[in-house]
Structure 1
């Protein structure tokens, strides 16, 4: 049995130097190595976890840079990210003016020593600073999803971020950040749920409850609803493309939904396509369900 190679031992090479010192052609090199960051490449046989990829990228970068953005959120324990997420490197508080050849390093306004923490020996923006940066990036529903994820992982207080933002009045995205901070909820379990909540808030619908557990007559919990309203028994479910489209999962959903309907629940199912193309149709369906149950708001 082969022991997996630890991350610290994986071979990282520089493309230009490797081509100059070996008999490999450019095509042979590109077949054997994948770009990691700047002029650094890693062997294509290396299967990196997100945290390993971030740590390696930071190690290959100039001395005084800090991991920020989505990569920082991942190191703080966040779970939501695209497979090709960008590793954002920010010039540290003591950085000079030159980012280094072949590297993209950003300068974030007002980054102070207190904004930087160490996680696994990697310099990372603090939880509050990470929330401040992610909450200002559009679109708003995605920013809220990232903040919900960070809140789930760290339990940060939105008020701490709001106070932190006071010294950045006039900077890009501050208005958006202030608008979504009161909506942050660490119980949200996916960015689309955050998207639905933001849509409902902007449509002046009542704030929904999250992760609602429903028990049968014997007290056994058989359903966990993404969001909805317990008293009028309205369930709002987001169908993710990767999870709810398999025949087996659809069969389980139908069985569960039938049991919920027997208990008097109205079920509203939403997917990403409907959110993109018919958001107000979603709003109207939720509003009709509330009105049908005597909801006044």
Structure 2
């Protein structure tokens, strides 16, 4: 590296540091732009939300993805924003890592959880189900329903009472597809892809029995009547050699029992969805279904 390059990097660093806010006391750090916590303190997503909401001004209500996490949803983007809903006169200062919005919330939309105010499961479903694109909204709805078993009829009534809200048509379209048996947003996305492509609606979490009647596997999606098993391979669960070997032995056993096994990974789902659909359609036709 030349001397000029070193000087250029030092100048860039000086300018960057000059834009940073003054340092907090040595034992503190800030999350979401303002909330001070111990510098050695390691926070879970839930801890982060509770810390941010409890120290915010104006008694806000936690909503959106942050509310779904507090209700038990384990599936979320690690870089999620803590969404704080406030009455129109409340403090709406927007800070890094969190978003403040002003809404008129009905009393029935709010509950107390861990000493802070949070939108109810149904109101939370109404909000996360309008996240775009629609596969993201459905993934959030499935995960929230898995965690809370919120009332889908109540959600449908809420949708009817809030016509004209942003992305309400999307929510109205995907609400009938909510299924808390989905075990990941990617499974929800795959199911939505199949339905939008006019394939038959798949079964979820299909129990597979061996010759003795013992359940030895559960298919993520598929068609139980046709013995078609569709598995989504998430990198976090299928990247180890031991897990791949176990999956291979499981697939061999499924095939010996007459099952057609289709595996879908992130690359196929996002980059080559037409290949996924073709493989599923071919399997259906091989089994005499259309």
Q: In which range does the TM-score fall when normalised by the shorter chain?
A: 0.7 to 0.9
For residues 152 and 48 of structure 1, what CA distance do their matches in structure 2 show? 24
Q: TM-score, normalised by structure 2?
A: 0.87
**Corresponding residue number in structure 2 for 1:79:** 74
**Corresponding residue number in structure 2 for 1:88:** 83
Q: CA deviation at 1:156?
A: 1.4
Kept in 2, the 8 Å contact 1:38–1:101? The answer is: no
**Corresponding residue number in structure 1 for 2:245:** 251
Q: CA deviation at 1:30?
A: 8.8
For residues 208 and 135 of structure 2, what CA distance do their matches in structure 1 show? 28
For residues 44 and 255 of structure 1, what CA distance do their matches in structure 2 show? 47
Structure 1 counterpart of 2:202, from 200, 203, 208:
208
User: Do the aligned partners of residues 151 and 79 (structure 1) sit closer, same or farther apart at CA in structure 2, a change above 3 Å counting?
Assistant: same
Q: 48-57 or 98-107, which moves further after superposition?
A: 98-107
Q: CA deviation at 1:42?
A: 1.6
Gaps of 5+ in 2: 1-19
Q: TM-score, normalised by structure 1?
A: 0.85
For 1:112-151, what aligned pairs fall within 5 Å after superposition?
Answer: 112-151=106-145
For residues 201 and 47 of structure 1, what CA distance do their matches in structure 2 show? 41
Matched, 1:227 2:221: yes
**2:237 alignment partner, SS class:** coil
Structure 2 counterpart of 1:171, from 165, 171, 181:
165
User: Do the aligned partners of residues 91 and 286 (structure 1) sit closer, same or farther apart at CA in structure 2, a change above 3 Å counting?
Assistant: same
Kept in 1, the 8 Å contact 2:149–2:180? The answer is: yes
Kept in 2, the 8 Å contact 1:37–1:60? The answer is: no
Q: 159-168 or 287-296, which moves further after superposition?
A: 159-168
Equivalenced residue count is 270
Kept in 1, the 8 Å contact 2:94–2:100? The answer is: no
**Corresponding residue number in structure 2 for 1:286:** 280
Matched, 1:37 2:32: yes
Kept in 1, the 8 Å contact 2:58–2:91? The answer is: no
**Corresponding residue number in structure 1 for 2:5:** none
Q: CA deviation at 1:117?
A: 0.5
For residues 159 and 215 of structure 2, what CA distance do their matches in structure 1 show? 42
User: Do the aligned partners of residues 108 and 141 (structure 1) sit closer, same or farther apart at CA in structure 2, a change above 3 Å counting?
Assistant: farther
**1:268 alignment partner, SS class:** strand
Gaps of 5+ in 1: 1-24
**1:106 alignment partner, SS class:** strand
**Corresponding residue number in structure 2 for 1:238:** 232
**Corresponding residue number in structure 1 for 2:47:** 52
**Corresponding residue number in structure 2 for 1:20:** none
* Structural RMSD (CA): 2.1
**Corresponding residue number in structure 2 for 1:271:** 265
User: Do the aligned partners of residues 202 and 101 (structure 1) sit closer, same or farther apart at CA in structure 2, a change above 3 Å counting?
Assistant: closer
Q: 253-262 or 56-65, which moves further after superposition?
A: 56-65
User: Do the aligned partners of residues 215 and 70 (structure 1) sit closer, same or farther apart at CA in structure 2, a change above 3 Å counting?
Assistant: same
